[in-house]
A and B are shown apart, each in its own frame.
Chain A
Amino acid sequence: KAGVTQTPRYLIKTRGQQVTLSCSPISGHRSVSWYQQTPGQGLQFLFEYFSETQRNKGNFPGRFSGRQFSNSRSEMNVSTLELGDSALYLCASRLGTGNTIYFGEGSWLTVV
């Protein structure tokens, strides 16, 4: 059974640009969440989607947004990129609320 798949794995963007990251959850999983990992702040929760609805949101500015499609695939978007947005962005999926969360390998974003 394939795990959580994230694309792209690595990307470099310029300050002020926007970026879209994609995530395909484990087959059958209906919940997708996103986390940001930085050396300074550790692993921080961005948001979670379940059946195309955002059910939880972390403390990130409105520049960070996401959505989930009917096939459970998810995208997250960051607009007006800042240098501090450079991080590993991790997608995770679970069967439903209350189930174990499994992570993808992450998308490394560098903002220059």
Chain B
Amino acid sequence: DQQVKQNSPSLSVQEGRISILNCDYTNSMFDYFLWYKKYPAEGPTFLISISSIKDKNEDGRFTVFLNKSAKHLSLHIVPSQPGDSAVYFCAAQSNFGNEKLTFGTGTRLTIIP
């Protein structure tokens, strides 16, 4: 039972444009969401997070949007850069970050120069 879903296995975006990565969840107990970036043969690197009491969080080029009613979140990267090419994982936690991470299956983002 996949509680966190990333329905796009891959995404290609032109350098300088906006990258939008999507994530859906089914467990209504999730109240804290994170995005991790992963290069091959490395561990995931934390990017940005959002609590369910917010609907938007920004950090530099990265913005995460949360739509609780739709159980949907998205990561926007503006502008996209070649170094952003990686696999992006959406993750969710319950109990406001106290519990384990439940990961989505990842989206491979390729930035085209």
A-side interface residues toward B, CB under 8 Å?
A: 4, 33, 35, 42-45, 48, 56, 58, 90, 92, 97-106, 108
Binds A, one of B17-25, B61-69, B100-108: B100-108
Chain B CB within 10 A, most for which of A58, A92, A99, A103: A103
Residues of A within 8 A of B46 (CB): 100-103
Q: Are A42 and B41 in contact (CB under 8 A)?
A: no
Interface of A is mostly: strand
Q: Are B100 and A56 in contact (CB under 8 A)?
A: yes
Residue of B nearest to A96 (CB): B98
Does B82 sit at the interface, judged by CB under 8 A?
A: no
Q: Are A108 and B41 in contact (CB under 8 A)?
A: yes
Residues of A within 8 A of B103 (CB): 35, 42-44
Can you list 5 A-B pairs, Cβ within 8 angstroms, ordered by A? A33-B100, A33-B101, A56-B100, A101-B46, A103-B36
Residues of B within 8 A of A56 (CB): 99-100
Q: How far is the CA of A45 from the CA of B100 in the complex (A)?
A: 7
Residues of B within 8 A of A33 (CB): 100-101
Contact code string B77-106 (vs A, CB < 8 Å = 1, else 0): 000000000000101000011111111111
Q: Are A103 and B98 in contact (CB under 8 A)?
A: no
Interface of B is mostly: loop
Q: How far is the CA of A56 from the CA of B96 in the complex (A)?
A: 15
Does B34 sit at the interface, judged by CB under 8 A?
A: yes
Contact code string B30-49 (vs A, CB < 8 Å = 1, else 0): 00001010000111111001
Residues of A within 8 A of B104 (CB): 42
Q: How far is the CA of A100 from the CA of B33 in the complex (A)?
A: 10
- Which of A90, A97, A108 sits near B44, CB closer than 8 Å? A90
Within the complex, the shortest CB–CB distance from B94 to chain A, in Å, comes to 11
Residues of B within 8 A of A108 (CB): 41
Q: How far is the CA of A31 from the CA of B18 in the complex (A)?
A: 36
Q: Are B43 and A99 in contact (CB under 8 A)?
A: no
With A42-B103, A100-B34 known to touch, is A105 a contact of B97 (CB < 8 Å)? Answer: no
